[in-house]
Structure 1
Amino acid sequence: MEQSPQIGDRIADKSAPPNDSAVRDWIGPKAFKHWTDLRNWIEAYYPGVFAPDWLYGGKKRGWSLRYKKTKAFCTLLPEYGRLSVLVVLGRAEREKFEERRYAWRSPLVKLYDDAKTYPDGKWLTVEISSADDRHDVTELLTMKRPPRQGG
């Protein structure tokens, strides 16, 4: 018997990357607005820099949409009933984060403090459930890679 999806489950059908309609149905309309706004923000502030790439991470991790040039920028994780964004902060970005530690919202600082540090950096998975969460992510991304002029 097929188990119904739980909050946070990933899109696991590996036959093809999901299209916008499948993503909207999976994450829900509110999360899909954040999905669209974030994708539009990346396109507006980093025009022509990234060609988003769907990655399949197996049955447990499912599909994710990665933005990468030479280094990973961020990965959007369409999860059942919600959207999360993975941002990896390397050494230089962690130093910048620490310099601004008291300017960040406390939920983000807690997430940062609780994240394990790997050889390639701290992996922050930020759940996007409000405009404030989305703003935190865009601030992290701007810190990680300054936008193109005029963005």
Structure 2
Amino acid sequence: MEQSPQIGDRITDKSSPPDDHTVRNWIGPKASEHWAELRNWIEVYYPGVFAPEWLYGGKKRGWSLRYKKTKAFCTFLPEYRRLSVVVVLGGAEREKFEERRYAWRSQLVKLYDEAKTYPDGRFLTVAISSAADRHEVTELLTMKRPPRSRG
């Protein structure tokens, strides 16, 4: 018997990467707006820099959409009825984050403080459920890599 999806479940059908319609249906209308806004923001502020790539992380992690040039920029996680974005902060970005520590919202600081630091950086997985969450992610990304153009 197939269990119905739970909030946060990933798209795990490995036969092919999900298309826009599949992503929209899976993450839901609210998260779809954030998905479209963030993708558009990246296209406007980083024109021609990234070629987003679908990655399959196995049955547990499912599909994710990674933006990468030479270093990872961010990864979108289309989860059931939710969108999360992973931002990896290397040493330089962690210093910048600390300099602005008291300017960030407390939820992000808590997420940052609880994130494990690996040799390649500190992985922040930010659930996007509001324009404020989305803005904070764009601030993190701008801190990580200054935009090429101001749209």
- Please classify the TM superposition score into its range, dividing by the shorter chain length: over 0.9
- 1:35 alignment counterpart: 35
Q: How does 1:1-151 map to 2 (within 5 A)?
A: 1-151=1-151
- In 2, the alpha carbon distance for the partners of 1:58 and 1:114 equals 25
**Identity of counterpart residues, as a percentage?**
83
Q: In structure 2, what is the Cα distance between the partners aligned to 1:3 and 1:46?
A: 40
Q: Distance in 1 between the 2:58 and 2:97 partners?
A: 32
Superposed CA RMSD in Å reads: 0.6
Unaligned runs of 5+ in 2: none
2-structure distance, mates of 1:47, 1:81? 29
Shift of 1:150: 3.4
What is the number of equivalent residue pairs in this alignment? 151
CA distance in 1, matches of 2:90, 2:115: 13
Shift of 1:126: 0.0
Normalised TM-score (structure 2): 0.99
Runs of 4+ in 1 over 2 A off after TM superposition: none
2: CA distance, partners of 1:127 / 1:150: 25
1:42 maps to amino acid: I
Secondary structure at the aligned position of 2:126 is classed as strand
